[in-house]
Structure 1
Amino acid sequence: MVLQYLLQEFEHEVNNTRRLLQAVPEKDLAYKPAETSWTMGQLAQHIATIYYWYTGTFTHDVYDMAADHLERGDVNDIKATLALFESNVEKARAALKSTTEDRLQDNWTMKVGEKTVLGPLPRGIVARGFLFNHIYHHRGEMIVYLRATGNKVPGLYGPTYEESK
C-alpha cells in the first residue's frame, strides 16, 4: 500500500519537477544569490541528479556514492540538464517499480567511501526523507532563484503569483 502511494506521488511530482526545470532560462544559469550558493545551473543539475539516486536506494542495501559515477554534462546547458533529468527519471521509475513493500522495511545505508553519511534507515524512510523531500527542498530554492531573476514560476500546486497577474 505504501509503495503504491510512493509511485503515485513520484509520477505526480516528476511532472512538477519537469515544469520547474523547463522554466529555467539559459540566460540565468550563472546566477547565484550569494557567494556560497550554487549557480542556478548547478542547482538545476542537482535536482536532476537526485532522481539518479533512486537507483542506488532501491537496488543496493549499501550505496557508495564514491563508487558510482554519473556523467552530468555542462551545468551551463539547460538542455543537457533536462536530458539528464529525463534519463534519471526513467531509471528512478524502474528502480521504484522493482521494489516491494517488504524491501521498504529493509535498512539502507549511504556511504562516501568508508564514511557513512546516512543510515542505516528503513528504505521507505529514505525514500520519503532523502529522495522525495530532498527534491522538494531544492525545488523551493529554484523558485526563489527564478523569482530573484525576474522569471515566471510555473504553478506546481495551483496558480502562482505570476500566473494570476
Structure 2
Amino acid sequence: MMLEALIAEFEHEVAGTRKLLQSIPSKDIAYKPSPVSWTMGELAQHIATIYYWYVGVFEKEVYDMAADSLERGEPGDIEATLALFEQNVEKARAAMKAATDESLQRAWTMKVGERTVLGPMPKAIVVRSFLFSHIYHHRGEMVVYLRATGNKPPGLYGPTYEDVKASQG
C-alpha cells in the first residue's frame, strides 16, 4: 500500500520534473546566481542524477557513493542532461516496481567510503526525504534560476503567475 502511493507520487512528479528540465534554454545554461552556486546546467544535471540514486536506495541496504559512478556528460549540454534524466527515471521506475512494502521498512545507510553520511533509517523515510524532497527542493531552485534569467518556468502545480496575469488580460 505504501509502495503504491510512493510509485503514484513518483510518476506524477516525474512529469513535472520533465517539463521543468525541458524548459531550460541552452542560452542560459551557464547562468549561476552567485559564485558559490551551481550553474543552471549543473543544477539540471544534479536533478537528473538524483533519479539514479533510487536504485541505490531500493536495491541496497548500504549505498556507498564513492564506489558508484555514473557517466553524466557535460553539464552545459541540456540535451545530454535530458537523456540522462530519462535513463535514470527508467532505472528508478524498475527499482521501485521490484520493491515491496516490507522492504521499505528495512534500514538503509549512505556512505562515502568509510564515512556514514545518512542513516541508518527506514527506506520509506529515505525515499520521502533524500529522494522526493531533495528533488522538489532543487526544482524550486531551478524555477528561481529560470525567472532570474527572464525565462518562464512551467506550471508544476497549476498555473504560473504569468499564466494568471495573462488570463486576467
Under TM normalisation by the shorter chain, which class is it? over 0.9
Q: Identify the residue that residue 2 of structure 1 maps to in structure 2.
A: 2
What residue identity is the alignment partner of 2:124?
A: G
TM-aligned CA deviation for residue 10 of structure 1:
0.3
Within a 5 Å distance, the mapping from 1:21-36 to structure 2 comes to: 21-36=21-36
Query: Which whole-Å CA distance do the structure 2 matches of 1:127 and 1:58 have between them?
Result: 9
> Would the aligned equivalents of 1:110 and 1:119 in 2 still touch at CA under 8 Å?
yes
Q: Over aligned residue pairs, what C-alpha RMSD do you find?
A: 0.5
What residue identity is the alignment partner of 2:127?
A: A
Q: Identify the residue that residue 57 of structure 1 maps to in structure 2.
A: 57
Query: Which whole-Å CA distance do the structure 2 matches of 1:153 and 1:37 have between them?
Result: 19
Query: Which whole-Å CA distance do the structure 2 matches of 1:102 and 1:11 have between them?
Result: 21
| % same residue | 72
Q: Identify the residue that residue 101 of structure 2 maps to in structure 1.
A: 101
Query: Which whole-Å CA distance do the structure 1 matches of 2:162 and 2:65 have between them?
Result: 39
What residue identity is the alignment partner of 2:52?
A: Y
TM-aligned CA deviation for residue 161 of structure 1:
1.2
Query: Which whole-Å CA distance do the structure 2 matches of 1:163 and 1:2 have between them?
Result: 35
Query: Which whole-Å CA distance do the structure 2 matches of 1:163 and 1:100 have between them?
Result: 41
Establish whether residue 128 from structure 1 lines up as the match of residue 131 from structure 2.
no
> Would the aligned equivalents of 1:154 and 1:163 in 2 still touch at CA under 8 Å?
no
> Would the aligned equivalents of 1:153 and 1:162 in 2 still touch at CA under 8 Å?
no
TM-score (norm 2): 0.97
Deviant stretches of 4+, over 6 Å: none
Query: Which whole-Å CA distance do the structure 2 matches of 1:138 and 1:26 have between them?
Result: 19
Query: Which whole-Å CA distance do the structure 2 matches of 1:145 and 1:135 have between them?
Result: 15
TM-aligned CA deviation for residue 38 of structure 1:
0.3
What residue identity is the alignment partner of 1:66?
A: A
Unaligned residue ranges in structure 2 (runs of 5+):
none
- Paired residues, what number? 165
Query: Which whole-Å CA distance do the structure 2 matches of 1:98 and 1:134 have between them?
Result: 22
Give the 3-state SS of the residue equivalent to 2:97 in structure 1.
Answer: helix
Query: Which whole-Å CA distance do the structure 2 matches of 1:141 and 1:94 have between them?
Result: 28
> Would the aligned equivalents of 1:104 and 1:123 in 2 still touch at CA under 8 Å?
yes
What residue identity is the alignment partner of 1:47?
A: I
TM-aligned CA deviation for residue 163 of structure 1:
2.2
Query: Which whole-Å CA distance do the structure 2 matches of 1:28 and 1:16 have between them?
Result: 20
Give the 3-state SS of the residue equivalent to 1:63 in structure 2.
Answer: strand
Q: Identify the residue that residue 80 of structure 1 maps to in structure 2.
A: 80
TM-score (norm 1): 0.99
Query: Which whole-Å CA distance do the structure 2 matches of 1:146 and 1:162 have between them?
Result: 13
Unaligned residue ranges in structure 1 (runs of 5+):
none
What residue identity is the alignment partner of 1:96?
A: M
